[in-house]
Structure 1
């Protein structure tokens, strides 16, 4: 996983999955909003790591 684009795509896919889980959990009585927020934050951080990894690799 040394390609920064792959790291960024992994982060974006994690964020999309967390949004999908959030939409599904609306229909169920038990809400897992804190878990969804944690998953979304992990995806966002992964995307940022991929972005800055790309910038540091260019220099």
Structure 2
């Protein structure tokens, strides 16, 4: 399972999907729940993005 989650296509999907939800959630739900969802998804997106950035040097 770890090999699947750390593959580049899955990391790109997680990064882009979580970033999209993080941007859209506060616009769709204008309450504390929408803002909290946006923050949580932004943190998940940053995690996937940092994994992509760290793996960049190893694959070159």
Which interval holds the TM-score relative to the shorter structure?
0.5 to 0.7
Bigger helix fraction? 2
Larger Rg: 1
Aligned length: 53
| TM-score, with length taken from structure 2 | 0.66
Higher RCO (C-alpha 8 Å, min separation 6)? 1
**What pairs with 1:3-42 in structure 2 (closer than 5 Å)?**
4=8, 6=9, 7-26=11-30, 30-32=31-33, 33-42=35-44
| TM-score, with length taken from structure 1 | 0.67
Q: Runs in 1 of length 4+ with deviation above 4 angstroms?
A: none
Q: Give ranges in structure 2 of 5+ residues lacking alignment.
A: none
